[in-house]
Structure 1
Amino acid sequence: MDDWFTVEKIDDATYAISEYKHWEETHCYLLNGRYSSLLIDTGLGVGNIKKVVDNLTNLPIKVVTTHVHWDHIGGHKYFDNIGVYETEKDWINTNFPIPLSVVKMNLLKEPCEFPKEFDSEQYQIYQGQISFLLHENDVISLGDRNIKVIHTPGHSPGHICFHEIERNYLYSGDLIYEGTLDAFYPSTNPYQFMNSVKKVKELAVKKVLPAHHMLHISPDLIYDIDKGFTELYESGKLVQGNGLYQFGKFNIHI
């Protein structure tokens, strides 16, 4: 087992695969079903996540992407059955919106004990062909598990969450987590971000599984984040360039 990754069991058929050694503390999720497995995001790409996944399932693996940002698609290079939301298909093929120099600056901005085989000079943003497109309300079936696509733009135009219908799990990507919620990049939209939070607030969610930082968070955080965005909107502050606002367990950067 690669010691770059930490594996934590969510339930008997669901695993979080995390990169706690890096400041981003990314989480990817492996869902094992009756006939196939689903991997939600693949992390930074500095370690081989497929080696970890292969120790957890021998079923066919489908990879899906919460959004096409460097810290969520890095390990896509190890897989050949990959899906992204329709709005961001060009980002993953030819037109990633953030320069490599900015990505590397983010990757290396805090001290980190990277895997010994990793060479930051050779690091590249994943760009490649995808196997299928995801759309609003698509349902991915694993045989005994059904995962619905929820379009939640704001952090990026094609950001999506995945709602597992039977378990009422929300795989929330960069929409809901404890930490700084980013809506300050040119490709982000704080107003859409707010509306996406309101959208997932309407779901019956028993467990939120975020893409960064604290793994075990309360579904009540959805309501807290909604309140934070609403306060900024109603006070006229929900405008890009206004800076960082702190709300206890989370911040909003616009």
Structure 2
Amino acid sequence: MLDATAGSPWFQVQRVTETLARIDEPNVHELLRANIWHLRGRDHDLVVDAGLGVASLREHLPGLFENSPVLVLTHRHLDHVGSAHEFSDRRMHAATEVDGRTPASLRGPELASLLGLAWLDAPPLLIDRAPSELFEVDSYAILPAPATDVLADGDVIDLGDRQLRVVHLPGHTPGCICLFEEQSGALFSGDVIYDGVLLDELPESDTAAYLDSMLRLRSMPVKIVYPGHGDPFDGDRLRELVDAHLRLRSGDGS
């Protein structure tokens, strides 16, 4: 039985810059421990992705909702859309549907089956404690959160004092997008790129499209990457990761 009282608060908040914070869920297995990015703007705040949805963002982090936040979903996987229903302004690509049918489970073997992952040593549970005494593992599901605005390549998210451009980079999923701030060179990359094993062979993935996305990404003047999983890294590391994946897919693993 999961303990609902031990440990720290469910969400961990780390200040990255004066205007940017990283939020994650330390009691979640690393596969699903995704980053939520909170960027403060003059007229609106930007929230990139919405976590697993095991615990309420609005209840635990009410400050996230104070400045008319714009939620942008980078793609449709459960660890990025879980609390999307809590936001009134939800923006995503047309292929990112959060319609109540998102494959979701907190049981490792079941989730592996739902996602088509060859995860032979999947743990029985993907969280190590419950967020509350009333929480039931098998009641977990992604609630519907339809787009209030559909995003396409080249669209701009305007926060008043800063603007971020939508970059559609399919492959991991059909609807994967990144957000790029030209002025700072900052890229919010979702699962298009992070410093780890990149997944482009899921049932909904498109390896050829992913390679095209990698080539486009490599050509962008990125200075810093804020990924969907793991720590930020610079543009040089981004290009190293892209090159390594291109070599892998070309059959040259050297």
State the Cα distance separating 1:95 from its structure 2 match. Answer: 5.0
Task: Note the aligned Cα RMSD (angstroms).
Answer: 2.5
Q: Superposition pairs for residues 40-55 of structure 1, below 5 Å? A: 40-55=48-63
Q: Contact 1:82 / 1:131 at 8 angstroms: preserved in 2? A: yes
Report the equivalent of 2:250: 234
Summarize the Cα distance change of 1:107–1:229 in structure 2 as closer, same or farther, 3 Å threshold: same
How many residue pairs get matched? 233
Q: Does 1:121 align with 2:126?
A: no
Aligned residue among 229, 233, 239 for 1:223: 239
Structure 2: unaligned runs, 5 residues or longer: 1-7, 114-121
State the Cα distance separating 1:145 from its structure 2 match. Answer: 0.9
Q: Superposition pairs for residues 149-228 of structure 1, below 5 Å? A: 149-213=166-230, 215-228=231-244
Aligned residue among 127, 142, 147 for 2:164: 147
Deviates more, 1:41-50 or 1:175-184: 175-184
Report the equivalent of 1:30: 38
TM, length-normalised to structure 2: 0.82
Report the equivalent of 1:62: 70
State the Cα distance separating 1:99 from its structure 2 match. Answer: 6.4
TM, length-normalised to structure 1: 0.82
State the Cα distance separating 1:53 from its structure 2 match. Answer: 4.4
Equivalent position SS for 2:157:
strand
CA distance in 1, matches of 2:112, 2:205: 20
Q: Contact 1:44 / 1:75 at 8 angstroms: preserved in 2? A: yes
* Percent of matched pairs sharing the same residue: 27
Summarize the Cα distance change of 1:115–1:104 in structure 2 as closer, same or farther, 3 Å threshold: farther
Q: Does 1:10 align with 2:19?
A: no
Once the two structures are superposed, what CA deviation does each residue of 1:1-56 show, in whole Å capped at 9, x if it has no partner? x8111111121111111112212321011111111111110000011122454325
Q: Contact 2:33 / 2:79 at 8 angstroms: preserved in 1? A: no
Equivalent position SS for 2:244:
helix
CA distance in 2, matches of 1:177, 1:73: 18
Aligned residue among 19, 34, 40 for 2:25: 19
Q: Contact 1:70 / 1:126 at 8 angstroms: preserved in 2? A: no
CA distance in 1, matches of 2:69, 2:104: 30
Q: Contact 2:100 / 2:143 at 8 angstroms: preserved in 1? A: no
Structure 1: unaligned runs, 5 residues or longer: 238-244, 248-254
